[in-house]
Amino acid sequence: MPTRSPARLVVALAVAAVLAVFLLYTAVAGHSTPTLTPSELHGKTGQLSIVGTVVGPVRGDAHAQAGLRFGLRNIYGKSPVIAVVYHGDNPPPLFKPGRSVVVTGRYGAGRLAGTDIVTKCPSKYTQKPAS
Amino acid sequence: MADLGRAALVVSLGLSVYALVAGGVAARGNRRRLATSARNALFCSFASTLVAAGVLAAALVRHDFSFTYVAAHTNRTLSTPYALSAFWGGQEGSLLLWLLVLTGFGALAVALNRRLLRDLTAWVVPVLGGIGTFFAFVLVAVASPFDTQTAPLDGAGLTPSLQNPYMVAHPPMLYLGYVGLAIPFAFAAGALLSGNTDERWIVATRRWTLAAWTFLGFGQLLGAHWAYVEVGWGGYYAWDPVENAALMPWLAATAFLHSVMIQERKGMLKVWNMVLVALAFELSVFGTFLTRSGVVNSIHSFAKSPIGGWFLAFVVISSLFSLALIMRRLPLLKARTKLESPLSREAAFLYNNLLLVALCLTVLWGVLFPIVTQLVKGETRTIGRPYYDFFLRAFGLPLLLLMGIGPLIAWRRTSVRTLLRTLRWPLAFTVGCGIALAAFGAGSSKPGLIAYTFSAFVLATIALELVRGTRATGSLLVLVARNRRRYGGYVVHAAVVLLAIGIAGSSAYGSSTEKRLTPGQSMSLAGYTLTLRDVTRETKPNVREERAVLDVKGGFDGTISSGDNQYVNPPEPSREVGIHTNWLKAEDVYVIADDIRGNAVYVKLLVKPLVNLIWIAGIVFLFGSAVALWPDAREQRRLVTRLAPARA
Amino acid sequence: MSIALGIVLAVAVVLVVALPFLREPAAADDRLDAPAPEEERLLALVEERDRALAALKELEFDHRTGKVGEEDYRSLVAPLRQDAARALRALRREPRYGAAMTGLEPPDLPSEPAPPPDEGTPPVPEPVPEPYPPPDEATIPTVPQE
């Protein structure tokens, strides 16, 4: 088709290239981590993240062999308390019992070997003011 | 006083609804007085929103804790600037800021253009009214800043880590960017609705788009700097959903900014431009939704908030509306000229669009992934950093290269031979740089080396353009003054290159180490030796400061301190890192006292090469934008006399 | 106090919104001030002429700074010159072109000593040996100075 501009071909090829890169990555690497609450951990093992509220007492040292030890429970509603043993950088300064956190690590046999903690800023956007 | 605030917001809502309905009827029915009345309603909605904002601001400064919002976000010890910054510290206040900027910008844009594009402006009014209606409704019915209570003795206060100049500057700047994108969107929608789809709406909103884009970009850099110096994990961007919420509309706006140049010159890419401006606007509202709704886990957002549902509904409805409008007016959006060659400036802009949109959609997918997996598999899965890093390189590096090649390609078509001839010197310079960099050890990171080499290429092409242009016109100043958009754009490109070099340097070529130290013990990295001298503890009004003091040798001689602050009211801790910039070696020495027990400190030491280029890039970026934005008297005169009514 | 202020605000706002109707209770011509079709056509032609001239000047500038090679230049300049000539001819045919010239003059007037470049319209370079006659700028009606 001599009169058709090459634009469509160019765009089609480019889009195909982009999609190919994309699919290749997700097929080969596909790094996604399940993010679960403590009540959703039945039967799960391996690398995952747990969203929950910190349960004290918080004991130990993140840089020591024995690690930092604390518990995690659901932010909303009842749930079992999951034991966490955390090794790595000290948790951010806002980390303390009652705070909402996301802990990432290997989970097995009811325990999480945590390697990363993200805390959330204190309740700035909730409806009720902090007392 | 809260009653006045509430009443003012109800008035704003009524005016926005009137602007929407009456404006639509007037534009449809070609009725002048009604159109003027709707326009007046838009102006008045700014006035009444201003009243509401004034009430809140006054309450914040006065520490009026009968306002629930004031009690939640300030306390008596807060100084006035920070008390005012609490305006946007919480949800209701930030929504009010959104509405204030929206009505303000809307009124200004309509006022400036009322004589120029009468039929177009008549349709812009109802679109702006529609957006205003949504935000005013949420403020009146769902999340009001004017809820009252019996005043407690003191308020909850502002988190100490938020009491810094960044809190004053970063959110408002982002909002000016987010909301600013509503103006080109409204004019684009107005163009489609009025059937006037030539380039006039682009010319009228050109500076608005550039200004909004600049605010959004600079606001993000402010946020990154804030994270670097205050949050203190050693990085500046975590691909957090809330950070991405600002990045996505910025990428779409970047594509839009470039793509409209093609429509102005060649009458091509009309459908692209409509889609891009709608995408930029929807993403900025979606970004607000992400930040406020608690739908994804993020360091910023959390509580599930009732406004989430409303925002989602607005984004869905307005997206469907935009899509329907574009499809309906598709016949009017036919290109005037065709793409003739894959090696032409038009094609280069097309590639630019594709890469930027690809990057934007990649980030969007990463943000939506947890929600999608929850809906599809019933299990939330989060995508990590490696995903974003991969695609930033996959799409960002070609974009960098395109920034260099694009300006050197001619319109319609360029032969490969001509292109190579033009690129002679930049290519030679680039290859030379690449070899030198590899010799200096930059080959330790392949993406880093590629980024550096491409950056050298782009800088060389910009220099080439400036040299050639100066030779043709005789004076650099005259050249830039007469072509502000183009050469301002080149300066912005240079800023992006500096950003790329800074990011590559600090991430690909950085190093880190960590060790537990007692006084007298040392640790080394990249030529620096740090020795722990002491741990100091000092009590000041409202804060107890604990610092590990380290002596530094090699590279520079001095001390760095790092530690924690424990505040009294409100009782919050914050981490304080120690940063020293070694300008000679162009790197930062970054010290985190991760854990202090007695006299023993667990120290994390990072060396970050070239990181300050990122902040310098911000300044260059502002300068380039200012040049591009600078008003051109001749162009303005021509526009005004040309588009004003013959009988005015 | 708040209530009084609130009422004042509401009343003021209603007044401003109703203003167009209060000023002209019975308007002779209530049509939106949109440009007439002839005006639209004239505007479109003017914009087309400006685009053609701007593209021409940009091509000459690119050629001068080496971005466009000799062969490319020769093949590209001819159609652009024809576009510009066509646009100018169409404009001169418009009856209103002579009468309402303000704002419609071309971006560069040949009588200026060193025409300044606008956005994308760099200065006219030295005359280059050209195979085709340049667009007919000499017969543009004289314009009143701004």
Structure confidence at residue B648 (pLDDT): 35
Contact state of C67 with B483 under an 8 Å Cβ cutoff:
no
Which phi and psi (to 5°) does residue A41 adopt? Answer: -90, 5
Longest CA span, chain C: 82
Residue B347: burial class (beta carbons within 10 Å; 0-12, 13-18, 19+): buried
Provide the token pair at B297: 């886990």
Range with the lowest mean pLDDT among B260-264, B293-297, B424-428, B628-632?
Answer: B293-297
DSSP for residue B227: I
C9, C20, C117 ranked by CB distance to B483: nearest: C117
Classify residue A108 as exposed, middle or buried by CB count within 10 Å of its CB (0-12, 13-18, 19+): exposed
What number of other Cβ atoms are within 10 A of residue B307's Cβ? 21
Are A94 and B572 a contacting pair, CB within 8 Å? yes
Which residue in B60, B121, B116, B250 sits closest to B174, CA to CA? B250
Distance from CA of C113 to the nearest CA of B (A): 14
Among B60, B167, B301, B380, the strongest candidate for a mutation testing the A interface, having the largest count of A CBs within 10 A, is B380
Whether B568 has a pLDDT exceeding 50, the answer reads yes
Q: Are residues B502 and B590 in the same domain?
A: no
d(CA B531, CA B13): 63
**How far is B600 from B515, CA to CA, in rounded Å?**
10
CB B184 within 8 A of CB B209: yes
**A102–B383 CB contact, under 8 Å:** no
The parent domain of residue C112 ranges over: 34-131
Q: Tell me: pLDDT of B393 over 70.
A: yes
Residue B590 placed within a domain: yes
> Considering chain A, what percentage of its residues have pLDDT values greater than 70?
77
Please give the Cα distance from B609 to B142 (Å, whole number).
Answer: 48
- B638 pLDDT tier (thresholds 50, 70, 90): low
Asked whether residue B296 is domain-assigned, the answer is yes
Which two structure tokens, joined as six digits, stand for B290? 């992400």
Q: CB-based contact (8 Å) between B421 and chain C?
A: yes
- The pLDDT of residue C77: 86
* Residue B9 and residue B150 in one domain: yes
* Phi (first) and psi of residue B535, to 5 degrees: -115, 120
pLDDT at B285 over 60: yes
DSSP letter (8 states) at residue B78? -
In this structure, the answer to whether residues B172 and B138 fall within a common structural domain is no
Residue B151 in this model has a pLDDT that exceeds 90 = no
Q: Is B392 on the interface with C (CB under 8 A)?
A: no
A71 Cα to chain B: minimum distance (Å)? 19
CA separation for the pair C77, C135 (Å, rounded): 11
Answer yes or no: do A31 and B386 touch at CB < 8 A. Answer: yes
Distance CA C41, CA C33 (A): 16
More confident residue, B242 or B216: B216
Q: Long-range contacts for B29-35 (Cβ within 8 Å, ≥24 apart)?
A: B30/C31, B30/C32, B30/C34, B31/C30, B31/C31, B31/C32, B32/C20, B32/C27, B32/C29, B32/C30, B32/C31, B32/C32, B32/C33, B33/C20, B33/C21, B33/C24, B33/C27, B33/C30, B34/C20, B35/B122, B35/B125, B35/C32
Q: What is d(CA B60, CA B85) in angstroms, rounded to the nearest whole number?
A: 9
Of B118, B138, B158, the position where a domain reaches its end is B158
Nearest to B225 by CA among B539, B617, B523: B617
Residue C116 to residue B18, Cβ atoms within 8 A:
no
Number of H helices, E strands in chain B: 21, 10
d(CA C61, CA A51) in angstroms, rounded, equals 61
Task: Give a yes or no: residue C44 inside a domain.
Answer: yes
What is the structure's pLDDT at B562? 94
The residues in C 78-137 lying below 8 A from B, measured between CB atoms, are: 100, 102-104, 107, 116-120, 122-123, 125
pLDDT at residue C126, rounded to an integer: 44
Q: Which residues 6+ apart lie within 8 Å of B401 measured at CB? A: B454, B457, B458
Q: Give the residue from chain B lying closest to C32, CA to CA.
A: B32
Minimum CA–CA partner of B268 in chain A: A7
Least confident span in A49-58, A59-68, B116-125, C100-109: C100-109
| Tens digits of residue pLDDT in A82-130 | 999 999 888 887 788 888 888 999 998 889 999 988 886 544 433 332 2
What is the Cβ-side half-sphere exposure of residue A39, based on CA atoms within 13 angstroms?
7
- Whether A and B touch, i.e. at least 3 CB pairs below 8 A, reads as yes
How many angstroms separate the CA atoms of B128 and B102, rounded?
8
Domain presence at residue C56: yes
DSSP structure string for B434-497: HHHHHHTTGGGSHHHHHHHHHHHHHHHHHHHHHHHHHHHHS-HHHHHHHTHHHHHHHHHHHHHH
Report the distance separating Cα C71 and Cα C82, nearest Å. 18
- Residue C99 in any domain: the answer is yes
In a domain, residue C136? The reply is: no
- State the total domains in chain B: 4
Give me the percent of chain B exceeding a pLDDT of 70. 96
Indicate contact of C with B: 3+ CB pairs under 8 A: yes
* Angle, in degrees to the nearest 10, between helices B91-113 and B182-194: 50
What are the chain B neighbours of C34 within 8 Å (beta carbons)?
A: 30, 118-119
Q: Are chains A and C touching, using the cut-off of 8 Å on CB pairs and a minimum of 3 such pairs?
A: no
Whether B162 contacts B78, CB under 8 Å = no
CA distances from C88 to B360, C52, C97, C110 (A): 43, 9, 11, 14
Residue in chain A lying closest to B597 (CA): A61
| Three-class DSSP category at A68 | strand
Q: What is the mean pLDDT of residues B614-622?
A: 96
Encoded tokens for B37: 């009345």
Query: Which residue in chain C is spatially nearest to B52 when comparing CA positions?
Result: C6
* Residue C122: C-alpha distances to residues A14, B203, B259, B515, C50 (Å): 33, 20, 21, 61, 13
What is the model's pLDDT at position A97? 87
Across B478-492, B553-567, B586-600, C54-68, least confident range: C54-68
Minimum distance, in Å, between the CA of residue B418 and any CA atom of chain C? 6
**Cis (ω within 30 of 0) for the bond into B570?**
yes
- pTM for this prediction: 0.89
pLDDT tens profile B348-374: 998 999 999 999 998 998 888 888 887
**Are residues B327 and B260 part of one domain?**
yes
Burial-class residue B124 by CB neighbours within 10 Å (0-12, 13-18, 19+).
buried
Measured N-to-C along each axis, helices B385-405 and A7-28 cross at an angle, to the nearest 10 degrees, of 150
**B381-383 and A111-119 beta bridge pairing:** unpaired
> What's the angle, vertex CA B62, arms to CA B60 and CA B68, rounded to 5?
50
CB B69 within 8 A of CB B90: yes
Q: What is the DSSP letter of B88?
A: G
| Structural domain containing residue B446 | 423-509+620-628
Q: Is residue B69 in a domain?
A: yes
Q: What is the mean pLDDT of residues B425-430?
A: 92
User: Based on the domain organization, do B277 and B195 belong to the same domain?
Assistant: yes
Residues of chain B contacting residue A58, judged by C-beta atoms under 8 Å apart? none
Task: Kindly tell me if the per-residue pLDDT of B570 is higher than 80.
Answer: no
Tens digit of pLDDT for each residue in B61-106? 999 999 999 999 888 888 888 999 999 988 899 999 999 999 999 9
Q: Is residue C17 part of a domain?
A: no
Same structural domain for residues B200 and B312?
Answer: yes
* Nearest Cα residue in chain C from B636: C103
Give phi and psi for B603, each to the nearest 5: -105, 135
d(CA B374, CA B371): 5
Q: Which residue of C has its CA nearest to B8?
A: C6
What sections of B329-445 are H helices per DSSP?
A: 345-377, 385-405, 416-422, 424-439
Quote the CA–CA distance of C23 and C9 in Å, as a whole number.
21
Are residues B456 and B520 located together in one domain of the fold?
no
The amino acid present at B218, given as its one-letter code, is F
- pLDDT for residue B639 is more than 60: yes
Mean pLDDT estimate for chain A: 78
- Same domain membership, residue B554 and residue B503: no
| Other Cβ atoms within 10 Å of A105 Cβ, number | 21
- The answer to whether residue B642 is domain-embedded is no
Across the beta sheet with B528-540, the strand order is: B522-525, B528-540, B543-553, B558-567, B573-576
**Residue from A3, A13, A18, A68 whose CB has the most chain B CBs within 10 Å, to mutate:** A18
Which residues does chain B have within 8 Å of residue C146's beta carbon, measured at their own beta carbons? Answer: 637, 641
The whole-angstrom distance between A131's CA and the closest CA on chain B is 6
Cβ proximity of B26 and B122 under 8 Å: yes
Q: Find the mean pLDDT for residues A40-64.
A: 87
Average the pLDDT over B248-255 and give the result: 96
Q: Is B49 on the interface with C (CB under 8 A)?
A: no
pLDDT for position C114: 38
pLDDT at position A7 is 66
Q: Which residues of chain C have pLDDT under 50?
A: 99-100, 102, 108-117, 119, 121, 123, 125-146
Q: What is the pLDDT of residues B114-142, one digit of tens each?
A: 877 778 899 999 999 999 999 999 999 99
CB pair distance less than 8 Å for A129 and B339: no
Within a domain: residue C21?
Answer: no
A120, containing H or E segment: none
* Domain contains B397: no
Mean pLDDT of chain B, nearest integer: 89
Q: How many domains does chain C have?
A: 1
Answer for the pair B147, B70: CB distance below 8 angstroms, yes or no: no
- B447 touches B397 (CB < 8 A): yes
- Mean pLDDT within B527-554: 91
Range in A17-26, B250-259, B384-393, C100-109 with the lowest mean pLDDT: C100-109
Q: Is residue C23 part of a domain?
A: no
How big is the CA angle at C70 (ends C64 and C75), to the nearest 5 degrees?
110
Quick check: B626 and B521 in contact, CB under 8 A?
Answer: no
Q: Say whether both B109 and B191 belong to one domain.
A: no
pLDDT at residue C103, rounded to an integer: 52
The predicted pLDDT at position B355 comes to: 93
Q: For residue C126, is it within any domain?
A: yes
